[in-house]
Chain A
Amino acid sequence: MALLEVEDLRVAFGASTAVDGVSFSVDEGKVVGLVGESGCGKSVTSLAIMGLLPKGRGRRTREPVQAAAAEPVDSGLKVAASAPQAVAASGGRGRRGGADVQGRAAFDGTDLLSLSPAAMRRRRGKDLAMVFQDPLSSLNPVVPIGRQITEVLERHRGLKGDKASKEAASLLDRVGIPDPLRRLKEYPHQLSGGMRQRVLIAIAVACAPRLLIADEPTTALDVTIQAQILELLKDLVETEGTALLMITHDLGVVAGICDEVNVLYSGRVVESAPVRELFRKPTHPYTVGLLGSIPRLDLPIHEPLTPIRGSIADVIRWRDGCAFAPRCDKVAAPCVDGEPALVGAVHAHRCVMAEEVA
């Protein structure tokens, strides 16, 4: 059994659905990537697993979604007209600004989504930890670095005073911060971006978590620093056997660190495969598009990049057809005729035109 098994995760903010039935799993000692552009639901997925989304008022029930899915699907047009009502019905019960989270996120057999807030707090930072995107704003500016590390040690490992400080210093040393004892007394503004990200990683690994979620940990950093941070994360996974869920929009990062990849589009997994498979034979047009939009060294200098048209904002709802259809070059009639299923086992994709694409 995998350490983390996410099944049919759904997150809605009011009337808008951010995550729409995402499933994947992460094994111990493995790095699994969640890839997609801004707004595809990858960060919301990670926050939902961590229990860090603002709570909606509604209980976690499946009824609204099932009711919506059970509606007869005749033609795209007709269903689209009735869609807003279903959305209002499912979103209306949540508190304004809060998230309605449904589905399952089993961590070592326990569904994290059904834990009480207090039980979840006992696990967060200890069994599962998270490294955030922006190291500049993710550390408290008015609290010394040392305190920000020792408070985790105190909370989950019962370490206090000198013992905690020593452990904090050795953690800083481990993430490659020179002169750690002096750094403990410093404040975040006295550290560079790369250093701050190292501190955040030190905080995340302070209690040797079994699952580490890294949400775009290198996005805000220089390229050289990016490589160092990735190396550090890779090292942690290899030496500690930590499971790493890597959230990124950078396929370079994916190629460098991930074992398996899940490509997300508009709240759903559109392709999922071992990393070599994905790069060798991308199947979903969205994945093809992502790969095509990366500058390549082996192409002539004046060869234009091939961006994906439009943006993720102009989507249709999945159950009316493929949400990527409006932006897809290969779009055909079957694409907008009902919900495309995720097909395949090891290398799965959600494209009805897969044969033609390949």
Chain B
Amino acid sequence: MLRYTVKRLLQLSVALLGLSLLLFAWFKALPGGPENRLLPENATDQQREALRAALGLDEPVWTQYGEFLSRIVRLDFGSSLSSGRPIATELAERLPATVELSLAAMLIAVGLGIPLGYLAAKRRGSWIDFGTVSGSLLGTCIPIFFLAAMLKVVFAQELGWLPTTFRLTAGADFTEVTGLRVFDGLITGEFGIAWDAVQHLILPALALSSIPLAVIVRITRASVLDVVGEDYVRTADAKGLKPSTVRGRHVMRNAMLPIATIIGLLLGSLFAGAVLTESVFAFGGIGSFVYQATTERDYPALMGFILVIAVFYVVINLLVDLSYGLLDPRVRVRK
């Protein structure tokens, strides 16, 4: 298992290095360099050259790449061109909100998706199956921003059951530890804050969970249908085991393999969906930051964001790979 882990880690660092190269090349190739954004339109060519020299843009490309790499390793993404603050700080402030939202959405998707998918497979051809499959189709079809807006209008504005915006009620007094409000509230004993944060999370998380939920339902259904027809499930039945044992140990442990992969991939893509959801609920995550950086050609900020997301993807992939090793002994011993 250790060998497997080390091997995976090495593969991932190669992937990250490749990504940094790709990113660097991509930004170099983009038209309209940052000096055009920073200087007024009537600036002279000398002024532009001077700024390029100041930013290190006149160095040979490989020197620039070396500098770029060494700064990334030190988590120094430079300063935002629009706000002037260090990008690492900006990201650190906003990431926890997005992480919390994405995890909450995934929790809903997994918690509802796997049981529903299992039920649909077990009652194949019944109205439960039909309802679940059509529901999941609907879930993948509705655009997130529309669903988010509808949830907000119905449950927050009309019914008034839940708050409309932000992560906490305005003026709430809380202790910041990790930036994940629910988690912080629980570990510091501020349960009122945790509950407040949960209430603020429900609607955005529901909206964000629609696509992963739909995907997980369908993958679970297909995977369970695959597994229940296997000979070893019949062997388990022939042993006279309780249905719960057959389900847990023999069906779900095998059915989880493809589901685990999908969960990993979905978690990565949730960050992209979070940008839209956050904007509807003014959730203060990474979404508005990216939006601003894109419209203002804030290259360092964008690069920082992409790198962080890439690292997220890579780490999640590693976790999925490792979970595979845990779930499937055949992967573990493969040389």
Interface residues of A (CB under 8 A from B): 50, 52, 96, 120-126, 129-130, 132, 134, 137-144, 147, 151-152, 155-156, 187, 189-190, 200, 203
> Interface stretch among B129-137, B241-249, B265-273?
B241-249
Asked if residues A143 and B250 are in contact (CB atoms below 8 Å), the reply is yes
Asked if A203 and B237 sit within 8 Å, CB to CB, the answer is no
B330 in the interface (beta carbon within 8 A): yes
A123 to B231, CA, bound (A): 20
Shortest distance in angstroms between B304's beta carbon and chain A's nearest beta carbon? 41
Whether A155 contacts B232 in the complex (CB less than 8 A), given A142-B327, A143-B250, comes out as no
Is B234's CB under 8 angstroms from A138's CB?
Answer: yes
Cα–Cα, bound, A143→B235 (Å) = 13
Taking A124-B239, A140-B236, A155-B240 as contacts, is the C-beta distance between A132 and B231 under 8 angstroms?
Answer: yes
Within 8 A of A (CB), among B249-273: 249-250, 253-254
B230→A124 contact, CB < 8 A: no
B241 to chain A: closest residue by CB: A155
B329 close to A (CB within 8 Å): yes
Other-chain residue from A123, A130, A134, A187 in contact with B329 (beta carbon distance below 8 A): A187
- Report Cα–Cα, A154/B241, bound state, in Å: 10
CB-defined contacts of A120 to chain B, threshold 8 Å: 240
Q: Which of B231, B239, B327, B328 contacts A203 (CB 8 A)?
A: B239
Closest residue of chain B to A139 (Cβ to Cβ) is B232
Q: Which residues of B contact A126 (CB under 8 A)?
A: 240
A187 vs B330: C-alpha distance when bound (angstroms):
8
B238 touches A129 (CB 8 A): yes
CB of A197, distance to nearest CB on chain B (Å): 12
Contact A123 B253 (CB under 8 A): no
* Distance A175 CA – B230 CA, assembled complex (angstroms): 25
Other-chain contact of A142, B234, B235, B242, B253 (Cβ < 8 Å): B253
Expressed in whole angstroms, the Cα–Cα distance for A331 and B237 within the complex equals 43
Contact of B254 with A125 in the complex, beta carbons under 8 Å: no
In the bound complex, residues from chain B placing their C-beta under 8 Å from that of A139 are 232, 235
Interfacial residues of chain B within 114-169, with CB under 8 A of chain A in the complex: 125
- Residues A137 and B230 in contact, CB atoms below 8 Å apart: yes
Shortest CB–CB separation between residue B335 and chain A, in angstroms? Answer: 13
Closest residue on chain B to residue A200 by CB atoms: B235
Q: What is the CA–CA distance of A50 and B235 in the complex, to the nearest angstrom? A: 11
Q: Quick check: B329 and A138 within 8 Å, CB to CB?
A: no
B235: A residues at CB distance < 8 A: 132, 138-140, 200, 203
5 pairs across A/B with beta carbons < 8 Å?
Answer: A137-B232, A138-B235, A141-B329, A144-B329, A151-B241
Instruction: Choose from B240, B250, B333 the contact partner of A124 (Cβ within 8 Å).
Output: B240
Q: Give which listed residue, A134, A143, A203, contacts B253 with CB less than 8 A.
A: A143
Chain B interface residues toward A at CB < 8 A:
125, 230-232, 234-242, 245, 249-250, 253-254, 327-330, 333
- B254–A141 CB distance below 8 A: yes
Tell me, in angstroms, the Cα distance from A151 to B242 when the chains sit together. 10
CB distance from B305 to the nearest CB of A (A): 38
- A187–B326 Cα distance when bound, in Å, is 13
Residues of A within 8 A of B241 (CB): 121, 125, 151-152, 155
CB distance from B293 to the nearest CB of A (A): 45
- Flag if A134 contacts B240 (CB, 8 Å): no
CA distance A200 to B239 in the complex (A): 11
Q: Residue on B with the closest CB to A187? A: B329
List the count of A-B residue pairs having beta carbons below 8 Å apart: 81
Q: Would A152 and B254 be within 8 Å (CB), given that A132-B231, A142-B327, A142-B328 are in contact? A: no
Chain A residues with Cβ below 8 Å from B249 are 140, 143, 147, 151
Q: Check if B329 sits within 8 Å of A151, measured CB to CB.
A: no
Given contacts A121-B241, A124-B239, contact A140 B232 (CB under 8 A): yes
Is B238 within 8 A of A50, CB to CB? yes
> For residue B333, which residues in chain A have a CB less than 8 angstroms away from its CB?
190
CB nearest to B257 among chain A residues:
A142
* In the bound complex, CA of A174 to CA of B156 (Å): 68
A132 and B230 alpha carbons, distance in the complex (Å): 12
Chain A residues positioned under 8 Å from B234 (CB to CB): 52, 132, 138
CB of B238 within 8 A of CB of A124, answer: yes
- Tell whether, in the assembled complex, residue B239 and residue A141 are in contact, meaning their CB atoms are under 8 Å apart: no
Contact B240 A141 (CB under 8 A): no
Residue of B nearest to A152 (CB): B239
Which of A138, A152, A189 has most chain B Cβ within 10 Å?
A138
Chain B contacts for A142, CB-based, 8 A: 253-254, 327-330
Closest Cβ neighbor of A95 among chain B residues: B125
Q: Which of B237, B253, B330 contacts A189 (CB 8 A)?
A: B330
Q: List the 6 closest pairs (A to B, CB-CB), nearest first.
A: A124-B240, A125-B240, A125-B239, A137-B231, A140-B232, A187-B329
Cα distance, A203 to B333, chains bound together (Å): 25
Cα–Cα, bound, A299→B239 (Å):
45
- A141/B242 in contact, CB under 8 A: no
User: Bound state CA distance, A140 and B240, in angstroms?
Assistant: 15
CB within 8 Å for A138 and B232 given contacts A52-B238, A125-B241, A151-B249 = yes
Q: In the assembled complex, which residues on chain A have CB atoms less than 8 Å from the CB atom of B254?
A: 140-142
Inside 8 A of A137's CB, which chain B residues have their CB? 230-232
Q: Which of B235, B253, B328 has the most CB of A within 10 A?
A: B235
A120 to B237, CA, bound (A): 10
Q: Which residues of B contact A144 (CB under 8 A)?
A: 329
Cβ distance A45 to chain B, nearest Cβ, rounded Å: 15
Nearest-neighbour CB distance to chain B for A57, whole angstroms, equals: 12
A296 and B234 alpha carbons, distance in the complex (Å): 37
Do residues A155 and B238 form an inter-chain contact, with CB atoms below 8 A? no
- Nearest CB of chain B from residue A72's CB, rounded to whole Å: 38
Minimal beta-carbon separation of B107 from chain A (angstroms): 25
A50 to B330 CA separation, bound complex (whole angstroms): 31
Interface contact B232-A121, CB-CB below 8 Å: no
Q: A138 to B233: give the CA distance in the assembly, Å.
A: 8
Contact between chains at B329 and A189 (CB < 8 Å)? yes
Contact in complex: A124, B237 (CB < 8 Å): yes
